[in-house]
Homo-oligomer: A and B are copies of this chain.
């Protein structure tokens, strides 16, 4: 068991935004919110997945909605704890642990806030090992675990609970409520026992986020290349280095969707890389041919600082490096590809792994 303090949050949020593959929320905002919670409530205990009691009552919590909106509409002071309490009351259980459902600049720090406010330990793991745009897109779905009962809470004080016949129905009803609530909301869902967490989670995600964030910091301090440090840390590869020359963005049906074009500076890597995103980067194409697709990770970093750039922060003129890294192997099962593969998102492509040679 380790302890997370305010001093860790910069590295945590930065590393989480790397794994967030463009989504999962802005790391600066995630850091500020969680730092405040830790200052008020003290540090949070981190519990490894292996140390969870089988009968633990684990309640994951996350922000749901369009990242383009999340950067302008912050959660209220008590919204996150209310989401957890609303679900706990509905299921009639006392939570023993809080967990992250995905990795991301906000979605790895919102659970820190919940854990701090409720005085509960936080599980070192998450439901994806990355971020995905829809709430059924978690490894617990592949393990047959139900997303609902789930709670959904807005910053104004509106609350809802959904109890659905499938995780896809949970996504559908919660997405509409999120849109009504102003395109962002806090949700608590996938209530699980410790045994279920062990069977379905990606273990060690918080540790991985911290290590990745610290690797970026360390490279900067020692004047090494922070982008190369991330490639090493995640066992990935460089896809492209260049300048953002076009960003098409629209916030529709509760998602931040769009495309970004990166003009290559090093022509040996191809000339134009296009990123297709729905909150997260889903497909990377170089000169018209897909080179990496979901479920593997497509990551955009500032070339000089190694700072992860979320999809809502992509801007003309940014000098960026685009990397690919492997996802959890369970995502490459037939059921995993059906849930989060390119065809689910409307791309007529077989999945292309990060380390495939094209």
Residues of A that sit less than 8 Å from B by CB: 86, 90, 156-165, 169, 172-173, 176-177, 179-181
Q: Which of B158, B164, B169 contacts A173 (CB 8 A)?
A: B158
Q: Which residues of B contact A173 (CB under 8 A)?
A: 158, 160, 177, 180-181
Docked Cα-Cα span, A172 to B182, in Å, equals 12
User: Given A90-B90, A160-B161, 8 more contacts at CB 8 Å?
Assistant: A157-B165, A158-B165, A158-B169, A159-B162, A160-B162, A172-B180, A173-B181, A176-B177
Alpha-carbon distance between A176 and B162 when the two chains are bound, in angstroms? 13
Report A313 CB to chain B, min CB distance, Å: 29
Known: A176-B176, A176-B180, A180-B176. A163 touches B159 (CB 8 A): yes
Residue in A90, A156, A172, A173 with the greatest tally of chain B CB atoms within 10 Å: A173
Q: Which residues of B contact A90 (CB under 8 A)?
A: 90, 161
Chain B residues contacting A164 (CB-CB under 8 Å) are 157-159
Q: Select from chain B the residue with minimum beta-carbon distance to A169.
A: B158
**Chain B residues near A160 (CB, 8 Å)?**
160-163, 173
A231 vs chain B, min Cβ distance (A): 42
Chain B residues closer than 8 Å to A177, beta-carbon distance:
173, 176-177
A98 to chain B, nearest CB (A): 22
Q: Which residue of B lies closest to A176 (CB)?
A: B176
Most buried by B among A160, A163, A164, A172: A160
CB-CB nearest 6 A-B residue pairs: A176-B176, A161-B161, A159-B163, A157-B165, A158-B164, A160-B162
Give the CA-CA distance A90 to B169 in the complex, in Å.
Answer: 21
Nearest B residue to A153, CB-CB = B163
Bound CA–CA A90/B159 (angstroms)? 12
> In the complex, which of the residues B158, B163, B180 contacts A158, with contact meaning CB atoms closer than 8 Å?
B163
Q: Which residue of B lies closest to A165 (CB)?
A: B157
Q: Please, which residues of chain B bring their CB within 8 A of the CB of A162? A: 158-160
| Closest chain B residue to A157, Cβ basis | B165
A180 to B: closest C-beta gap in Å: 5
Contacts of A163 in B (CB 8 A): 86, 158-160
Could you say which residues of chain B place their CB within 8 Å of the CB of A157? 164-165
Tell me the bound Cα distance from A159 to B163 in angstroms: 5
The residue on B at minimum CB distance from A89 is B90
- Separation of A176 and B111 alpha carbons in the complex (Å): 28
The answer for the CA separation of A161 and B90 in the assembled complex, in Å, is: 10
Q: Complex formed: what's the CA distance from A163 to B158 in Å?
A: 6
Enumerate 25 A-B pairs (CB-CB under 8 Å) in ascending A order. A90-B90, A90-B161, A156-B165, A156-B169, A157-B164, A157-B165, A158-B162, A158-B163, A158-B164, A158-B165, A158-B169, A158-B173, A159-B162, A159-B164, A160-B161, A160-B162, A160-B163, A160-B173, A172-B180, A173-B180, A173-B181, A176-B176, A176-B177, A176-B180, A177-B177
